[in-house]
């Protein structure tokens, strides 16, 4: 896609969702890292409910490093995949204490080396905790970007690269939030609300549906 068209799409989304921002509640980079790990296959609403209580008990690497896996599993059970998530959070905390003085590094490659941290999590932390020009690709961004023609690749990582190629650096973090909001509010996985969508003129999905419904 042409970068000018991509900017137009982002502009329309900015008008539709002027309050778009990170849906996870956090006060430190480590809290965001923890919340993002918990958010895998889980809603932001549920994660915020869990972290509201969790962060009262533990909110820093030093709090989690000595915690028993079973204890954390109980506290995050409702987020799903609680065993893997508990191990990732505790193991990452230990690495942060041992190698970074208990601070979350503001470096993408360093974040990727932490247990349980993939590209999506690292991008979320870089963009929202350190004001980086990163765009994280979750299921909503992946689906919405492909439908709008902003990207066409078959994997989240390749979609990330395609988005970075057409979206200006200063808009990438915001674009992540805008595409997520659009995916949740209108461009849903099942039964997207295409009628009246301000991006219908750009949307490949809408065009495809229209062509199928047009009689020969």
Residues marked active site are found at 120, 138
- Helices 156-166, 172-185: axis angle to 10 degrees equals 120
Please report the sign of the dihedral spanned by the C-alpha atoms of residue 179, residue 181, residue 184, residue 187: negative
Question: What are the φ/ψ torsions at residue 155 (nearest 5 degrees)?
Answer: -130, 150
Distance (Å, whole) CA 91 – CA 66: 10
Cβ count within 10 A of residue 14: 14
Distance (Å, whole) CA 94 – CA 115: 10
């Amino acid at each position: 896609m042409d970068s000018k068209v991509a900017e137009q799409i982002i502009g329309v989304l900015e008008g539709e969702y002027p309050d778009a921002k990170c849906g996870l509640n956090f006060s430190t980079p480590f809290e965001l890292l923890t919340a993002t790990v918990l958010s895998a296959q889980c809603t932001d609403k549920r994660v915020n409910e869990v972290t509201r209580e969790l962060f009262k008990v533990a909110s820093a690497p030093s709090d989690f490093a000595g915690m028993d896996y079973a204890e954390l599993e109980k506290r995050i059970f409702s987020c799903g995949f609680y065993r893997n998530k508990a191990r990732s959070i505790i193991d990452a905390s230990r690495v942060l204490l041992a190698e970074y003085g208990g601070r979350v590094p503001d470096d993408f490659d360093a974040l990727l080396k932490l247990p349980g941290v993939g590209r999506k999590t690292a991008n979320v932390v870089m963009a929202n905790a350190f004001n980086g020009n990163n765009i994280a690709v979750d299921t909503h961004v992946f689906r919405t970007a492909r439908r709008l023609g902003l990207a066409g690749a078959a994997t989240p990582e390749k979609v990330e690269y395609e988005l970075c190629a057409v979206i200006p650096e200063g808009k990438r973090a915001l674009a992540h939030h805008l595409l997520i909001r659009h995916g949740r509010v209108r461009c849903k996985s099942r039964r997207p609300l295409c009628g009246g969508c301000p991006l219908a003129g750009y949307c490949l999905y809408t065009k495809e549906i229209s062509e199928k419904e047009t009689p020969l």
